[in-house]
A and B are shown apart, each in its own frame.
Chain A
Amino acid sequence: MIRLTLKEEPPLRLSAEALLPERLAGRSAGEIERLPLAVGRTGGAVGDWFRVVAGDTAAIEIEGPCHRLDRIGAGMDAGSITVRGDTGAYLGLGMRGGSIAVEGSAGFGAAADLRGGTMRIAGNAGDGLGGALPGAAAGMRDGTVIVGGKAGAAAGARLRRGLIVIAGDVGAGCGAEMIAGTVIVGGAAGAYAGAAMRRGSVLALGGAERLGSGFVDCGVHDLVFLRLLARHVAALGLDALARRIGPLRRFAGDAAVSGRGELLVAP
């Protein structure tokens, strides 16, 4: 275990993408402290901001006032990162493998452009969870994201593949422009969930506010797919949520694009 303790709250955003488990494992504390780490436009080193305890395993623990730490675990391939606090923007941006666990809440764009791996956020997630980078054709392309609290607007926007589970409510535009994949919302989904979705499934177990006009009510169904999904969710350790996945009202849409997606809303 490599422990990085933030000495003080940085005055500006701090881009933490250099702090990847596979890069730090096996290095001495001194070596890690000398790695470059920029704050704002000024250069600097990891040691300027962190107290470092080295370790041999590809596992990092970050503690301290981390809410200005952006891009934690960005591009990560393997290993694990645990954050004992809140994180800044773009947590796990473009991550391809490994796991990230956050004990607090994550800022904007957590799991954006995710390619694989598992992310667990115990608190809330900001806007753009599992979303797309500006101009990108697709958002998250694979992997699993589990949020214990609420998520902001546009969670799972342009989702291409993978699973996003949010135990609480989500903001507007959840699963907007989705290409495929699955989003499960334990609470209520904000307005226009699944707007312009092409395929994929959005489950809103606590109901959905204002659906777009491109969705057609297909009635309540007890779908085999949902039973399989419930089993999968239970295997992720989310038994309580899994038990709530049962017969749901299916809205097919969004007809504005191709209409092969679905919103599955508590009846």
Chain B
Amino acid sequence: MITRLTGARVFDPANGVRGEVRDLFIADGRMAAPTDRADRSYDLGGLVVMPGAIDIHSHIAGGKVNLGRLLMSEEHRDELVARGPATRSGSGVATPSIFATGYRYAALGYTAAFEPAMVPSNARATHLETADLPIIDKGAYVMLGNDELLLRLVAAGAEQERINDYVAWMMRATAALGVKTVNPGGISAFKFNARGLAIDERGPQHGVTPRQIVQMLSRAVFELGVPHPLHIHCNNLGVPGNIDTTLATIAAADGFPLHLTHAQFHSYGTEGDRHFSSAAARLAEAVNRNPSISLDVGQIMFGQTVTASGDTMAQYRNRAFASPGKWILMDIECDGGCGLVPFRYRDSNFVNALQWAIGLELFLLIEDPWRVFLTTDHPNGAPFTCYPHLIRLLMDRSFRNDCLAAIHPAAQKATTLGSIAREYTLEEIAIATRAAPARILGLAGRGQLGPGAAADITVYAEDGDRERMFAAPRHVFKAGVEIVHDGAILAAPPGATHVVRPDYDPAIEGVIGAFFEQHMSVGLGHFRLSEGELADAGLSLVAQPCRPRGRA
């Protein structure tokens, strides 16, 4: 069957299409070359078409999300969603139930979202949970950098090749799409009573520095040919003055690509009476200068949410600000940590208000939209359902300045936001939410509408109020099937799970197996996910290309 979409202005930055009126053709779930035959036609005159949006960093599944749901019991009691003709019931706002998560993403025109913090020992639970995630594509980044075995290997002076083998083995064993490191070395150090770890400080247990971990992991990811650079949550999240750590981390990668995640939380200075200031300009300047660096912002929005992070060190500090006053902090199998702290960001609070401004400064000061991604670090900065509002803040300067005028007065004085004239164009939004995430994740045939690409398409009605425009797409197509029409979910087919499969020297299994035998609660054979069990759970794996790269 061939479906034809006619008359819309198309934004397809990956193929250089910048709002020209084009006809698009869909055959068998993929974009097709123009043809005269069409079985079905949609007249989209006056509407705007973009590829389906991709969220590069959103905590949507896995152990910590379930703990978050537990902590946010009020919202699961009070915010209920009834089932619909094609949808199941659900609940929650900041920690929506897995079905509601998929429907809400789809209703916003998103066709993929990636879970950024999969602890290796939680990989099975994470994937099985996403088997229930309807409509959107998914994938997960495996969390390394505080795992006991890696730290032992680094401490023992293991060669880079060994580290590469270990990383590749872990990615295969956990069916990962990328590698994330969270507070490298810091989560391990926290367990041995350290409450901070500087980039060149030796961890108390292994004597390994964060710099060593960043160097070895970023290089391993590059050499293995994993498309997505090391996804790094830098040390000292949320600490005033952490911009120095963030800039030092960029330097530590020695030119290997890095993706700085939720960079807003890592862009703080210590100036001013309150010793808390924006360092967004310094980070933006470094990013503008280093083409190998990309980032997602982790914008905060005012209101209730819950912060969920592997960074036990940061979450232990944040527990004092829990609202409502309850929190969870735990270690997971010596693989990593997990901390959950409910949080209410307030515009009347100086720090929160400045955080809000810092995130927007980053969006607006980084020049290349291909290297800055639109995220709220759901749910840490705000639930992903705030994206339309965030897009309006980026596209509409007068609206932005109106919002700025409502925040804490001292925060208004401490930010340059009011003087930044830049407004994102529709093309830039299409880059930051579609083309660029697909490119940096190495998702072949996603985030673009060229022939052969997946027919994941969002159709918006042009509206001067960009929040209204992006909140309610007219149509959303997933793999060529219309799944959202004027806000109603028509169908909820399962999405694909994206993975990469880097190669490794099987000799590494001897090292890993011996460690598992001695220290872990499950054997290596049970730890490793088999693709058969994932298929049995209803997941359809799509392997993205992974070509080993030589030494840079």
Contacts and interface: CB of A to CB of B under 8 A. Distances in A.
Q: Do A and B bind each other?
A: yes
Contacts of B74: 135-136
A136 B77 CA distance: 11
A17 to B, nearest CB: 13
A87 B213 CA distance: 61
Given A135-B72, A135-B74, A136-B74, 11 more contacts: A133-B73, A133-B77, A134-B73, A135-B70, A135-B71, A135-B73, A135-B326, A136-B73, A137-B324, A137-B325, A137-B326
A76 B71 CA distance: 26
Interface in A113-141: 133-137
A161 to B, nearest CB: 16
A135 B68 CA distance: 11
Contacts of A133: 73, 77
A137 B325 CA distance: 7
A174 B317 CA distance: 34
B305 to A, nearest CB: 16
A55 to B, nearest CB: 32
Interface string B62-103: 000000001111100100000000000000000000000000
Nearest to B71: A135
A182 B55 CA distance: 51
Size bracket of the B interface: under 10
A34 B507 CA distance: 73
Which of the listed residues A134, A135, A137 has the most CB atoms from chain B within 10 Å of its own CB? A135
A123 B73 CA distance: 31
- Interface SS of B by simple majority: helix
Contacts of A137: 324-326
A71 B326 CA distance: 27
Q: Per DSSP, are chain A's interface residues mostly helix, strand or loop, or mixed?
A: loop
A88 to B, nearest CB: 18
A203 B325 CA distance: 28
11 contacts: A133-B73, A133-B77, A134-B73, A135-B70, A135-B73, A135-B74, A135-B326, A136-B73, A136-B74, A137-B324, A137-B326
Nearest to B73: A135
A135 B67 CA distance: 11
Contacts of B70: 135
Contacts of A136: 73-74
A133 B76 CA distance: 12
A135 B324 CA distance: 11
A136 B78 CA distance: 13
A137 B73 CA distance: 10
Contacts of B71: 135
Please name the 10 residue pairs, one residue from A and one from B, whose CB atoms are nearest each other, closest first.
A135-B73, A134-B73, A137-B324, A137-B326, A137-B325, A135-B70, A136-B73, A133-B77, A135-B71, A133-B73
Contacts of B324: 137
Contacts of B77: 133
Interface in B33-79: 70-74, 77
A137 B324 CA distance: 8
A86 to B, nearest CB: 25
A134 B71 CA distance: 9
A136 B324 CA distance: 9
B203 to A, nearest CB: 33
Contacts of A134: 73
Interface in A74-98: none
A136 B72 CA distance: 9
A146 B24 CA distance: 71
A135 B305 CA distance: 16
Contacts of B73: 133-136
A70 B71 CA distance: 25
A13 B484 CA distance: 35
A51 to B, nearest CB: 29
Interface in A132-164: 133-137
Contacts of A135: 70-74, 326
B97 to A, nearest CB: 15
Interface in B247-265: none
A133 B70 CA distance: 12
Interface string A41-67: 000000000000000000000000000
A135 B326 CA distance: 9
